[in-house]
Amino acid sequence: MKTTTREFEHLPFNAFWEKGYKDGNVSTMGGPNHDIVELAAALPPGTRVLDLGCGEGRNAFFLAGRGCQVTAVDRSAAGIEKLSALAKRTGVPLRAVVADIAELELRDTWDVIMAHGVIDYLDNRTWRSLLARLKAHTAPGGYNAYTCMLFTDEYPAGPEFLAAGFKHSLAQGELAAFYGDWEQVRHDRYVKWDQHPGIPLHCHPVDKLVARKPGGGGPAPRREPVPVGEVDLPRALFDSVAMGTPAEEVLARCGEPAVVDTFTMEGVQLGVGPTDSLTVDGYRLSLWYYGRAVLYVINGRVWGRALHDSLPVRMTFG
Ligand SMILES: C[S@@+](CC[C@H](N)C(=O)[O-])C[C@H]1O[C@@H](n2cnc3c(N)ncnc32)[C@H](O)[C@@H]1O
Return the best residue to mutate from 75, 113, 146, 270 for the ligand 1 pocket (most ligand atoms within 8 A of CB). Answer: 75
In a domain, 55, yes or no: yes
Ligand 1 neighbour 101 (Cβ under 6 A): yes
Tell me what the mean pLDDT of segment 130-146 comes to.
98
Q: For residues 116 and 52, what is the distance between their CA atoms, to the nearest angstrom?
A: 8
Buried b (16+ CB within 10 A) or exposed e, 245-273: bebeebeeebeebbbebebebeebbbbbb
What is the pLDDT, as a whole number, of residue 275? Answer: 67
pLDDT band at 2 (very low <50, low <70, confident <90, very high): very low
Tell me what the mean pLDDT of segment 284-294 comes to.
96
Whether residue 168 is found in the same domain as residue 218: yes
Average model confidence (pLDDT) across the chain: 92
113 contacts 137 by C-beta, under 8 angstroms: yes
**Considering its fold, how many domains does the chain have in total?**
2
DSSP-derived letter for residue 105 is B
**Ligand 1 centre and the CA of 29: distance in Å?**
11
Q: For residues 84 and 287, what is the distance between their CA atoms, to the nearest angstrom?
A: 30
What is the pLDDT, as a whole number, of residue 4? Answer: 40
In a domain, 10, yes or no: no
SS (H, E, C) 193-225: EEEECCEEEEEEEEEEEEEECCCCCCCCEEEEE
Whether residue 187 is found in the same domain as residue 279: no
In a domain, 2, yes or no: no
What is the pLDDT, as a whole number, of residue 13? Answer: 57
In a domain, 297, yes or no: yes
Ligand 1 neighbour 151 (Cβ under 6 A): no
Tell me what the mean pLDDT of segment 70-98 comes to.
97
**Ligand 1 centre and the CA of 117: distance in Å?**
7
In a domain, 9, yes or no: no
Return the best residue to mutate from 33, 100, 103, 118 for the ligand 1 pocket (most ligand atoms within 8 A of CB). Answer: 118
DSSP-derived letter for residue 278 is S
181 contacts 131 by C-beta, under 8 angstroms: no
What is the pLDDT, as a whole number, of residue 3? Answer: 42
pLDDT band at 223 (very low <50, low <70, confident <90, very high): very high
Percent of the chain topping pLDDT 90: 84
Quick one: which atom of ligand 1 is closest to the CA of 102?
19
Beta-sheet strands, E only, within the chain:
48-52, 69-74, 95-98, 110-116, 138-149, 183-196, 199-212, 221-225, 259-270, 279-290, 293-298, 301-308, 313-317
Tell me what the mean pLDDT of segment 247-272 comes to.
94
What is the pLDDT, as a whole number, of residue 7? Answer: 39
Whether residue 194 is found in the same domain as residue 273: no
**Ligand 1 centre and the CA of 289: distance in Å?**
29
243 contacts 164 by C-beta, under 8 angstroms: no
Percent of the chain topping pLDDT 70: 95
**Ligand 1 centre and the CA of 121: distance in Å?**
8
Q: For residues 176 and 312, what is the distance between their CA atoms, to the nearest angstrom?
A: 17
Ligand 1 neighbour 106 (Cβ under 6 A): no
CA distances in angstroms from 43 to 79, 214, 218, 219, 279, listed in the order given: 25, 16, 8, 9, 24
In a domain, 5, yes or no: no
In a domain, 181, yes or no: yes
Whether residue 43 is found in the same domain as residue 89: yes
Domain that holds residue 112: 16-225
What is the pLDDT, as a whole number, of residue 5? Answer: 37
Q: Which of 156, 147, 180, 166 is nearest to 30 (CA)?
A: 147
DSSP-derived letter for residue 48 is E
Q: Which of 56, 69, 57, 80 is nearest to 112 (CA)?
A: 69
Q: 64 or 14: which carries more pLDDT confidence? A: 64
CA nearest ligand 1 atom 13, residue: 53
pLDDT tens per residue, range 264-274: 998 999 988 76
Whether residue 212 is found in the same domain as residue 244: no
Whether residue 132 is found in the same domain as residue 269: no
Instruction: Check which CATH number belongs to the domain holding 139 and give it.
Output: 3.40.50.150
Instruction: Check which CATH number belongs to the domain holding 293 and give it.
Output: 3.30.1450
Q: Which of 14, 114, 126 is nearest to 59 (CA)?
A: 114
pLDDT tens per residue, range 3-52: 443 433 444 557 999 999 999 999 999 999 999 999 999 999 999 999 99
Residue type at 113 in one-letter notation: I
Tell me what the mean pLDDT of segment 239-261 comes to.
96
What is the chain's length? 318
CA distances in angstroms from 125 to 119, 166, 207, 293, listed in the order given: 11, 15, 19, 35
pLDDT tens per residue, range 150-173: 999 999 999 999 999 999 999 999
What's the start-to-end Cα distance of the chain, in Å? 31
